[in-house]
């Protein structure tokens, strides 16, 4: 949530509040979004695998970070869909387009994961 009184310096208490709101967001995504749960489960496998297979710290960051980007975009897509649903469940062309574009953004980052993993690992193991 935003500061109630404008853009005040956060300080340690403000940082803790922001961290709490972030944890609430992650909890909500876990409870209400099956796609997010699936991506977290995939990350539970691919994260350690990327750590193990990455030959250098840069490769490890690329392998793991590409997966984290998918989850971050899924959170953005889910938040956008929640806002659209908040304003009504009737079909509207723009609402449908926004939801489709959010889904496409997640898909593009999934392609990014496949490319990163393939370009880093296939030459080594083929």
Q: Which residues are annotated as a binding site for substrate?
A: 27-30, 74, 103
Radius of gyration of the chain (CA): 18
> Distance of alpha carbon 28 from its chain centroid, rounded?
13
User: What are the catalytic residues?
Assistant: 74
**Binding site for ATP: what residues are annotated?**
33, 81, 90-92, 99-100
DSSP letters spanning 30-50: HHH-HHHHHHHHHHHHHHHHH
Token pair in block for residue 56: 């250098």
């Amino acid at each position: 949530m935003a500061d109630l009184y404008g853009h005040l310096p956060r300080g340690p208490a403000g940082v803790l509040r922001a961290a709490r709101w972030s944890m609430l967001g992650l909890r909500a995504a876990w409870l209400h979004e099956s796609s997010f749960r699936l991506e977290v489960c995939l990350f539970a496998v691919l994260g350690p695998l990327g750590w193990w297979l990455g030959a250098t710290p840069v490769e490890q960051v690329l392998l793991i970070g590409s997966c984290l980007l998918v989850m971050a975009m899924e959170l953005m897509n889910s938040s956008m869909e929640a806002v659209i649903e908040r304003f009504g469940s009737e079909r509207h062309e723009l609402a449908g387009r926004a939801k489709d574009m959010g889904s496409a953004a997640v898909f593009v980052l999934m392609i990014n994961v496949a490319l990163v993993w393939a370009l880093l690992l296939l030459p080594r193991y083929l």
